[in-house]
């Protein structure tokens, strides 16, 4: 039997939104840029995150760019970050005239906090962590390091909205957190969107100005851009916030189910991050595994023939792309994991029959090795 299981299926959650939102009423208000819905969204986010400041912006990429721009760092200053993530993280660093310093990762796909201090130089201004796939890194330790060396701690939370550390949201530990509300994220709109949470009023004022072309009351005193969140996206996101805890609860239960299944699988063939003890703090956007011994391509073809979609996030370390040639490194664990990592179907609304079929298929693949 072929179940045709996509990597991510948004139809279930989109049906809930479509059935419960008054789109006609929104359109009749004729308010499409900033306005009531954006103000409401920013208030909702500020309350949820328990942070003094929150600003909505046009995307998660722009959130990172604006955070780094607000630091007033000098050209050539360094930002320590991970080599295993989407290009936006390092792209934002380079667009601000700064240099990414790539730190190797641990077996949980995260920047290895034990290696961070080795990357610090006299020109380091910030640490940019990524909670990849929704797994929170050791931000307590990263905060200790950033305080010790007087650095700014930025958390790329694009894939980890709702993630916690010891029951508290990760925003508590970072000076800045960047969020993405891309449709596939844990709280996603019907298009692009992003946000910034922060603790400093001066940085808040600068980002607030930068997102509307550098406007400051009746003056333009900065070169900014159009980094606003559309009112329509805020309208959708305001509703999605109202039932996010239900989405998070579903995915938490799903994560637990997946981890317990993979405990039955030969770890010499397929392994998962060691995150079972963090289950109450996880907010996974993707479920990624490592297929070892050069069998990833074979594994993906096997699943594809059964109608199961999989995808590689991310196929090589960022420093391997030509745009980052001058920042190239050879990081052993980053290289190894990039050759093994693959994401499998994991989404709100996945059915028990789909999960059962997925698990049966993976078990069969492993048994045939």
pLDDT in tens, 36-70: 999 999 999 999 999 999 999 999 999 999 999 99
- Maximal C-alpha separation, the chain: 70
pLDDT at position 3: 76
Q: What is the mean pLDDT of each run of 10 residues along the chain (369 residues)?
A: 86 94 92 92 96 97 98 97 97 98 98 98 98 97 98 98 94 97 96 97 96 88 93 97 94 96 97 91 96 97 97 97 95 97 97 97 96
Residue 344's DSSP bridge partners are 287
Look at residues 141, 89, 99, 90 and name the one whose alpha carbon lies nearest to residue 117.
Answer: 141
The answer to whether the beta carbons of residues 295 and 329 sit under 8 Å apart is no
Q: What angle do helix axes 88-95 and 60-69 make, rounded to 10 degrees?
A: 30
pLDDT at position 126: 98
pLDDT at position 1: 55
Q: What is the CA radius of gyration of the chain?
A: 21
Q: Residue 316: how many CA atoms within 13 Å on its side-chain side? A: 8
The answer to whether the beta carbons of residues 206 and 198 sit under 8 Å apart is no
> String of b and e for 223-256 (b: at least 16 CB within 10 Å)?
ebbebbbbbbbbbbbbebbeebeebbebbbebbe
pLDDT at position 2: 62
Q: In the numeric block, which tokens belong to residue 80?
A: 């320590």
Q: How far apart are CA 47 and CA 23, in angstroms?
A: 25
The answer to whether the beta carbons of residues 194 and 56 sit under 8 Å apart is yes
Q: Given strand 99-103, what is the order of strands in its sheet?
A: 53-57, 194-198, 176-180, 152-156, 124-130, 78-82, 99-103
Q: Residue 120: how many CA atoms within 13 Å on its side-chain side? A: 17
Q: In the numeric block, which tokens belong to residue 269?
A: 């063939």
What is the pTM (predicted TM-score) of this model? 0.96
Determine phi and psi for 248, rounding to 5 degrees.
Answer: -60, -40
Domains of the chain, start order: 11-242 (3.40.640.10), 244-367 (3.90.1150.10)
336, burial (CB in 10 Å: exposed 0-12, middle 13-18, buried 19+): middle
Instruction: Using the structure block, give the residue that is written with the tokens 């962590």.
Output: 129
Q: CB count, 10 Å around CB of 25?
A: 9
Q: In the numeric block, which tokens belong to residue 330?
A: 């050879």
CA 300 to chain centre: 24
Q: In the numeric block, which tokens belong to residue 16?
A: 């809930």
Output 248-251 pairs: Cβ under 8 A, ≥24 positions apart: 248/162, 248/186, 248/283, 250/348, 250/349, 251/186, 251/283, 251/284, 251/346, 251/348
């Amino acid at each position: 039997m072929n179940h045709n299981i996509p990597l991510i299926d948004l139809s279930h959650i989109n049906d809930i939104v479509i059935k419960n939102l008054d789109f006609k009423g929104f359109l009749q208000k004729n308010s499409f840029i900033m306005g009531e819905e954006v103000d409401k969204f920013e208030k909702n986010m500020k309350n949820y995150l328990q942070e003094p400041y929150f600003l909505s912006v046009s995307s998660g990429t722009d959130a990172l760019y604006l955070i780094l721009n607000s630091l007033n760092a000098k050209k050539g200053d360094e930002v320590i970050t991970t080599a295993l993530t989407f290009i936006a993280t390092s792209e934002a660093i380079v667009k601000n005239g700064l240099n990414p310093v790539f730190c190797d990762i641990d077996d949980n796909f995260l920047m290895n906090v034990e290696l961070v201090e080795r990357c610090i130089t006299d020109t380091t201004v910030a640490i940019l962590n990524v909670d990849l796939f929704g797994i929170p890194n050791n931000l307590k330790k990263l905060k200790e390091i950033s305080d010790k060396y007087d650095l700014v701690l930025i958390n790329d939370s694009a894939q980890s909205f709702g993630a916690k550390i010891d029951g508290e949201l990760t925003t508590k530990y970072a000076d800045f957190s960047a969020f993405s509300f891309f449709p596939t994220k844990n709280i996603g709109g019907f298009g692009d969107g992003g946000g910034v949470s922060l603790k400093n009023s001066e940085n808040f004022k600068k980002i607030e100005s930068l997102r509307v072309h550098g406007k400051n009351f009746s003056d333009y005193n900065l070169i900014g851009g159009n980094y606003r969140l559309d009112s329509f996206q805020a309208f959708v996101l305001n509703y999605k916030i109202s039932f996010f805890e239900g989405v998070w609860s579903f995915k938490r239960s799903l994560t637990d189910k997946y981890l317990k299944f993979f405990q039955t699988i030969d770890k010499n063939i397929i392994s998962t991050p060691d995150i079972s003890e963090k289950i109450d703090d996880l907010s996974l956007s993707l479920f990624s595994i490592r297929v070892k011994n050069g069998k990833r391509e074979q594994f993906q073809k096997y699943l594809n023939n059964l109608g199961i979609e999989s995808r590689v996030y991310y196929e090589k370390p960022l420093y391997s792309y030509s745009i980052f040639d001058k920042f190239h490194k050879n990081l052993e664990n980053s290289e190894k994991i990039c050759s093994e990592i693959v994401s499998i179907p994991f989404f709100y609304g996945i059915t028990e029959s789909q999960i059962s079929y997925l698990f049966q298929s993976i078990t069969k693949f492993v048994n045939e090795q």
